[in-house]
Amino acid sequence: GARIGILGGGQLGRMLAMAAGKIGLSPAILDPAPGAPAGQVAPLTVADWADAEALARFAASVDVVTYEFENIPEAALDAIEAVAPLHPPRRALAVSQDRLVEKEFLASLGLSTAPFAPVDDAASLQAALERIGTPAILKSRRLGYDGKGQARLSGAEDAASALEAMGGAPAILEGFVEFSCEISVIAARGADGAVAAFDPGENRHEDGILRRTRVPADIRPGLAADAVLLAGRILNALDYVGVLGVELFVTPAGLVVNEIAPRVHNSGHWTQAGCLVDQFEQHIRAVAGWPLGDGTRHSDVEMENLIGDDMERVPRLLSEGADLHLYGKAQTRPGRKMGHVNRLIRHPGT
Ligand code: ATP
Ligand code: MG
Ligand code: MG
């Protein structure tokens, strides 16, 4: 079977590796850390992103390379792409690595985003606030996740502290979107251009971190179709191969795109319990050049993340027979994603 190289050995890399194994393919992981969670389930190459030679050797040892996170340095991607095919494509990474480029790309497709403006200093923040107003969120353009690198502004008086929180990094000011709920679509595009999407899930965040995803989302049916079509437009525009996560705000005026992730996505973990072919396998199939699998949802599901001290609930969950997914991380830290649980939502009388 084909050898699938996976950049990044966190929980997403781990679950991608397990999905590859399920369909007879051979996963290999590259991560700078010797203890990377995915290294427990697949061969691990420990190499720094700056070690171009090690990256090229890794790429030469596999048939195709994919990744579990979007913040891989450009030079590392160059070293790998010189040796092996990389999916999803570079442009998807370029777009999702920088929130300003991402918003401009989405707007160029005619999709709605929060009002936004680049911020590099006090003067550009002032100008952005005059145009966008408050409440607003200042976000670092690069490297943010789980709500890190963000500062909320309830009024113009918060400008100085918000700018300080960016630590001099280029930022983007976003107008605060008044949403009724957050949903996401996990969509896939095969090497043959076929597009498929999982049903949109409804997401609850706490402290900027995804807490739960429920499917079906409690939205009117037309919106679910809008979400899927919009994801398809993004996939086609990027000539994408693999799985993509699209985070959306539901507003009275329709869907507003928050951000995209060129990879499997935490809000798609419910597919492990709700679909014959889950997001991880769908991604592996796409990057391996296989036809996409059947991602039809057969059950209503709630996924709950186990974060930090939630690990104390594991014995209880085990005794309940819960469908536990644990990432094998040695250290529990506040805010760290340690695992998740999928529960089927049973409806009385069915
Ligand atoms: P992720 O872990 O999903 O990559 P992130 O650090 O990239 O998170 P965002 O998704 O940009 O952060 O923001 C985190 C959450 O903050 C969103 O899911 C949403 O709840 C809220 N949020 C972000 N931007 C806005 C906005 N412009 N208006 C309203 N709420 C927002
Ligand atoms: Mg993000
Ligand atoms: Mg997000």
Tens-level pLDDT at each residue, the chain (350 residues): 799 999 999 999 999 999 999 999 999 999 999 999 999 999 999 999 999 999 999 999 999 999 999 999 999 999 999 999 999 999 999 999 999 999 999 999 999 999 999 999 999 999 999 999 999 999 999 998 888 899 999 999 999 999 999 999 999 999 999 999 999 999 999 999 999 999 999 999 999 899 999 999 999 989 999 999 999 999 999 999 999 999 999 999 999 999 999 999 999 999 999 999 999 999 999 999 999 999 999 999 999 999 999 999 999 999 999 999 999 999 999 999 999 999 999 988 86
CB distance 259 to ligand 1 below 6 Å: yes
Binding residue numbers = 99, 139, 144-150, 174-177, 182, 205, 258-259
Q: How far apart, in Å, are the Cα atoms of 176 and each of 113, 116, 132, 203, 257?
A: 11, 10, 9, 17, 13
Q: What is the ipTM of this complex?
A: 0.98
- For a substitution probing ligand 1, which of 256, 258, 267, 305 has the most ligand atoms within 8 Å of its CB? 258
Query: Residue 195 forms beta bridges with which residues?
Result: 189
Distance 325 CA to ligand 3 centre (A): 21
CB distance 281 to ligand 1 below 6 Å: no
Domains 3-86 and 181-344 are alike in CATH topology: no
pLDDT digits (tens, 9 = 90+) for 49-74: 999 999 999 999 999 999 999 999 99
Which residue reads 């960016």 in tokens? Answer: 166
Q: Helix or strand or coil: residue 181?
A: strand
Q: What are the extents of the domains in the chain?
A: 3-86, 115-175, 181-344
* Assigned CATH class of 181-344: alpha beta
Q: Which atom of ligand 1 is nearest to the CA of 147?
A: 6
Distance 201 CA to ligand 1 centre (A): 16
Q: How far apart, in Å, are the Cα atoms of 58 and each of 23, 25, 48?
A: 22, 16, 12
The rounded radius of gyration (Å) of the Cα atoms in the chain is: 20
Fold of 115-175: Dna Ligase; domain 1 (3.30.1490)
Which residue reads 């402290």 in tokens? Answer: 207
CATH of segment(s) 3-86: 3.40.50.20
CB distance 142 to ligand 1 below 6 Å: no
Q: Where are the alpha helices (DSSP H) in the chain?
A: 11-22, 52-60, 74-81, 90-97, 99-108, 122-132, 159-165, 221-237, 271-274, 279-287, 314-319
Atom 26 of ligand 1, nearest CA residue: 176
CB distance 147 to ligand 1 below 6 Å: yes
